[in-house]
Structures are given as C-alpha cells and as structure tokens.
Amino acid sequence: MGIGNLDEVRAFCAVVEARSFTAAGARLQVTTNAISLRVRRLEEALGVRLLVRTTRHVSVTDEGAAVHKTMSRLLDEVDSLEAVVRPDRADLRGTVRIAMPGVLASAPFFSRLRDLQSQHPELCVQTIVSNSPIMPSTEGLDIAIYVGRPPETAFVGRLLGRGSWVLVAAPEYLRRHGRPMRPADLADHRCLRLLSNPPQNEWTLVDARGREHTVPVGRGYEADDSRSLGDAAYAGLGIGLRPAGEAARAVARKRLEVVLPKFRFQPLDIHALLPQGRIRVPRVAACLEILREAVRELG
C-alpha cells in the first residue's frame, strides 16, 4: 500500500477543505474530472474510502479525516521546504483565492498586488468580491476577509487592523443641495445607502465623546456593492460613506468633502480567516501581508 503522489494528496486535501470537487478544481486550476480521478487513485493506493460523494454533498469518512489531518501537515512542510531550497522563487507560484468586501478591492490593495506580482510573475491571485461574508470552505478559498466580528469557527483567524468610515459628498452635490449641519438633517438629503433587507433607513454616527446618534437618512441611490456607492459619491449623487483614509486623499485632491466632520461611524475590526495550515504557505502569507497593508490605509 502506498500513499499516492503529491498531486493526488493535494487534490484530496483541497476537496476536504472546500467540501466540493468543483471548488477544489478551481483552487488547483484543473478540471473537476481530474480532481475526481486523483482522489480515486489515492483511495485505491491507501485501500480505504476517504470521501462519501452524493450529487450535492461531499462528506469525509473517519479514515479520510485522519488522512487529511496528517497529509495537510505534510503539504505545509513540502511547501515550506520548497521555499527554503528554491529561495529565488520563494514559492510564490500558483494561485491564491481570496474573498473580500468591495471596500478592500481598491487602489491600495491593487498597487501592492502589482508590486508583488512584478517580483513573482508565476503568482496568480483570484478574488471573489462580496459584501456578504463567505466562509473559507466556499469556492476553495485560501483567505476570506470579514469586516466586524467573525463567526466562531475552526478556521484560523488573523486580525488585519481596524477600519473607520466618515460621511462624504462631492463638492458639486453640496453646491446644489446644501450641507447638513447636524445628523438629523440627513433625512432631507439624498443618501447613498447599502441595499439590504431590511432597508438601511438609519445610520448610527458617533460624536467626539463616543456618544451614538441614530438618525433616519434620505434615499437617493442604493447598491449592494460599496465600490458602486463610492463611485456614486464621486459622481455627486449624494452623501455616502467612505473609508477615512480614502476620504482624506480625495479631500486633498478636491474630489470629495467631509460631511459632518465632528461625527464618524463606529470603527470595525477587519479579520482574515484561513483554512488550517494555509498561513504557512508562502504565497498565501505574502497575500495576507498586502491585505494587512491595504487595511492600514482605510484609516
């Protein structure tokens, strides 16, 4: 009885972590059929059934769980060893799959990713941009970013930093509609709201003393993507939220003005969740670091 080759082991571990043959194929950039064949060969080599497959679900047998626990550690050691013996490549090869909110899919992240890929051209990064939380097991992800408190989970959590948001509007909008002088005035303005259920009819602002003020806000434009809301603010559609760091840069370029400068939103911690062992893979660790740097620029 053998333990199969590394491709078969990687395929099996990817399926266990993603709970999907399709997502495992996306992570390893091979077809679903190739993943299925590799897992079957590993099962034949070991002489045990590792996975139970149905048309909609993949579950792990007791033997499969034991094999995954050992094999995932083995793969981490192999990846780390390659980084040592091939320092010129630094193991920044292959694909890293990241789920992130739209607020991070911005210039600070992309400029750092450009620099990283210029040094490591064989590194590919794939992102799923969503304002709804996505668990790392979905779509074979290596990193999932959470704004706010992450759920209790067996995945590895890392605090990347804290984000702070302020109210802004384009100078053109303020010339046409005037400037709110107190939070209650937002009810009479066109506000750029996150499309949600229930509707985002109120905003909670925090004053300099830390006191919260929950006020109704007017309607103007709604979207389920923070990038669209940002574009709408720059276009003069209304008053909206932007990260404090971005707002400061836009104010310096005279593209936005801060509204109600004595108030801001409650800052939120930003975490990354990773499957066990992924943080020790150099290409994943490198992407985690540029995400950390991008979070710092949120302000």
Residue 2 has pLDDT above 70, yes or no: no
Q: 34 with 41: CB under 8 angstroms? A: no
Instruction: Please list, in sequence order, all residues whose beta carbon lies within 8 angstroms of the beta carbon of residue 185, skipping any fewer than 6 positions away.
Output: none
Instruction: For 215-224, write each residue's pLDDT tens digit.
Output: 999 999 999 8
Distance in angstroms (rounded) separating the CA atoms of residues 26 and 113: 20
Residue 143 CB-half CA count within 13 A: 30
List the one residue out of 218, 252, 255 whose CA is nearest residue 236.
255
**Sign of the CA dihedral 232, 127, 288, 115?**
negative
What dihedral do alpha carbons 68, 69, 74, 77 form, nearest 10°? 130
Degrees to nearest 5, angle at CA 208 with 297 and 233: 50
Average pLDDT over residues 118-139: 84
Residue 159 has pLDDT above 60, yes or no: yes
**Residue 9, φ and ψ in degrees, nearest 5:** -65, -45
**Strand locations in 92-186, DSSP E?**
94-100, 123-129, 143-147, 156-163, 165-169
What is the β-pairing status of strands 156-163 and 58-60?
Answer: unpaired
221 or 68: which leads in pLDDT? 221
pLDDT of res. 69: 81
Average pLDDT over residues 49-63: 87
Instruction: For 24-52, write each residue's pLDDT tens digit.
Output: 888 787 899 999 999 999 999 999 999 99
Residue 272 has pLDDT above 70, yes or no: yes
Residue 269 has pLDDT above 50, yes or no: yes
Average pLDDT over residues 102-107: 89
For the whole prediction, is pTM greater than 0.85? no
Q: 270 with 147: CB under 8 angstroms? A: yes
Instruction: For 170-211, write each residue's pLDDT tens digit.
Output: 999 999 999 999 999 999 999 999 998 888 999 999 999 999
pLDDT of res. 248: 95
Using DSSP's 3-state secondary structure scheme, residue 114 falls into helix
- Residue ranges of domains in the chain, CATH in brackets: 6-85 (1.10.10.10), 94-158+268-296 (3.40.190.10), 165-259 (3.40.190.290)
Residue 89 has pLDDT above 50, yes or no: no
pLDDT of res. 29: 79
Residue 16 has pLDDT above 90, yes or no: no
Helix 32-46 vs helix 21-28: crossing angle, to nearest 10: 100
pLDDT of res. 100: 93
Average pLDDT over residues 112-134: 89
Instruction: Please list, in sequence order, all residues whose beta carbon lies within 8 angstroms of the beta carbon of residue 210, skipping any fewer than 6 positions away.
Output: none
The model's confidence at residue 136, banded by pLDDT at 50, 70 and 90, is: confident
Q: 172 with 290: CB under 8 angstroms? A: no
pLDDT of res. 172: 97
